[in-house]
Amino acid sequence: MNSQLRHLPQIDTLLQQPPIAQVVAAYSHEEVRSALRLTLDALRDDILSGAAVDLPDFTSEGFARTLADRIEATRQPNLRPVINATGIIIHTNLGRARLAPEALQAMRDIGARPSNLELNLATGKRGSRYDHAEALICQLTGAEAALIVNNCAAAVVLALMGTASGRKVIASRGELIEIGGSFRLPDVIAQSGAVLKEVGATNKTRLSDYADAVDEDTAVLLKSHTSNFRIVGFTSAPSRTALAQLAAERDLILMEDLGSGVLIDLSPFGLRDEPVVADILKAGVDLVMFSGDKLLGGPQAGIIAGRADIIAGLRKHPLLRALRIDKLSLAALEATLRLYLPPHDPLSRVPVLQALSQPLAEVEVRAQKLAASVEVMNGVTASVTPSAAYVGGGSLPQQDLESVSVVVVCDALSPEALGDRLRGGVVPIIGRIHHGKLWLDMRTVTDDELPDIVAALGAIATS
Ligand SMILES: *Cc1c(COP(=O)(O)O)cnc(C)c1O
């Protein structure tokens, strides 16, 4: 063992070897040094662990090639596309909404060339980035005005900072939510400089609870969509209309953190609990905040829609600059919103809506196609099974969508090991382990992605 350790060369000596010097010329001194250090460290660990170690010929072309491959791997992007076979359509860890081709084209166009981001082309004077999509949002939601920021969390913070700093915000104990990433409404209210006044109980809050809590320091009644959980049973909450009336009588602002934000009614697809933005505004809510990359199906963005006088104030807030949306997201958002305008049918144009509205029979065809390709492989079997898909992104926690999965079994690998292999491939495939098997849900996969899945399974079958 010690003699093997003594045979491990010095990095500086290796750098002199002609094959390795060629790698240095192709890449950089630092990268080769670092790759050599990692290689030698791994060998040293193996030797010390008592394993039988075959030392490579450090002077060979083959060793230099392995080194080059190692460096090449580190040069690949860390952030890269994966295949979402989880059955969760809006998966925050997988980047949420896929963008429509129109949105991608808009990002290309605006990214590649200068734009009128902050230039008014009619007057030649300075314009505002906030103007480009405002009229569209108003048209699609019935809002008087709208402001777009970096994400929904930023929208909530800005709305509270701009209307309730140093004053009270009344919220129901049943709606003090935490969404992912430790975004907790009570903490966000505190950070905005407002003071939270909790009312009611976890399961029941009455209009009188809100009314009794209002004092001269109160600025806002805050509703939030309890988007990632549901309290069932003995529950009640006042209607938006009732809250709106109270807010109007007491000169308060009624705002709602909606999270997902749908622009069209999704109840035909069995998704009943996701209120449409236009209906919320119609009920008298003054401001609603929602995400761009959840059910709307666009890029990361946060939209504040509602009363023009309040939004005019938010536009002047000194911290708006820190929360502003970037031009590529804005381009994608505008293009996505345009897909909702007649004569377009957003269900067939916005990928998130396509995925959730796709007829089960089409999902089944995709599953059968994948299973048929696997049939010819050695050591891998696939079966087509009904499954439940979810919208995700914090929306519609209880309502599942009918789906079809391909359950894959590999003779030589445990389900976990098979999942690891698929996740570790050139195009990582993310499935889920369910009932002790690996399931690939076909509602969140597109036909275009099938060949990559077939190739990955094929490589596992033959290896
Ligand atoms: C998702 C969500 C947010 C945060 O939205 P981001 O766009 O991720 O910042 C806020 N509130 C609710 C209710 C949500 O569901």
Tell me what pLDDT residue 397 has: 56
- Ligand 1, pocket-test mutation among 160, 223, 225, 227, most atoms within 8 A of CB: 227
Cα 217 to Cα 160, 168, 195, 264, 289: the distances in Å are 14, 6, 10, 37, 23
State the closest ligand 1 atom to the C-alpha of 228, by its place in the atom list counted from 1.
15
State the closest ligand 1 atom to the C-alpha of 225, by its place in the atom list counted from 1.
13
State the closest ligand 1 atom to the C-alpha of 156, by its place in the atom list counted from 1.
10
What does the block give as tokens for 303?
A: 């939209």
Contact 151, 300 (CB under 8 A): yes
CATH number, span 101-345: 3.40.640.10
Q: Please report how many Cα atoms fall inside a 13 Å half-sphere around the Cα of residue 182, on the Cβ side.
A: 1
State the closest ligand 1 atom to the C-alpha of 291, by its place in the atom list counted from 1.
7
Domain boundaries, the chain: 2-75, 83-91+355-462, 101-345
Contact 298, 69 (CB under 8 A): no
20-44 pLDDT per residue, tens: 999 999 999 999 999 999 999 999 9
The alpha carbon of 126 and the centre of ligand 1 are apart by a number of angstroms equal to 32
Tell me what pLDDT residue 233 has: 78
* Euclidean distance between the first and the last CA atom of the chain, given in angstroms as a whole number: 32
This prediction has a pTM of: 0.91
What's the mean pLDDT when you consider all of the chain?
94
Tell me what pLDDT residue 80 has: 94
Tell me what pLDDT residue 256 has: 97
The alpha carbon of 211 and the centre of ligand 1 are apart by a number of angstroms equal to 27
Residue nearest to atom 1 of ligand 1 (CA): 259
The alpha carbon of 325 and the centre of ligand 1 are apart by a number of angstroms equal to 16
Contact 152, 208 (CB under 8 A): no
The alpha carbon of 449 and the centre of ligand 1 are apart by a number of angstroms equal to 29
The alpha carbon of 261 and the centre of ligand 1 are apart by a number of angstroms equal to 9
DSSP 173: G
Do 83-91+355-462 and 101-345 agree at the fold level?
Answer: no
Output the ligand 1 site: residues, CB below 6 A. 151-153, 177, 179, 224-225, 227, 257, 259-260, 291, 302, 394
CATH number, span 83-91+355-462: 3.90.1150.180
**Could you read off the pLDDT tens digit of each residue along the chain, which spans 463 residues?**
578 888 899 999 999 999 999 999 999 999 999 999 999 999 999 999 988 888 899 999 999 999 999 999 899 899 999 999 999 999 999 999 999 999 999 999 999 999 999 999 999 999 999 999 999 999 999 999 999 999 999 999 999 999 999 999 999 999 998 877 778 899 999 999 999 999 999 889 999 999 999 999 999 999 998 877 777 778 888 999 999 999 999 999 999 999 888 999 998 887 877 899 999 999 999 999 999 999 999 999 999 999 999 999 999 999 999 999 999 999 999 999 999 998 889 999 999 999 999 999 999 999 999 999 999 999 999 999 999 999 987 665 567 899 999 999 999 999 999 999 999 998 999 999 999 999 999 999 999 999 999 999 999 997 6
Residue nearest to atom 11 of ligand 1 (CA): 259
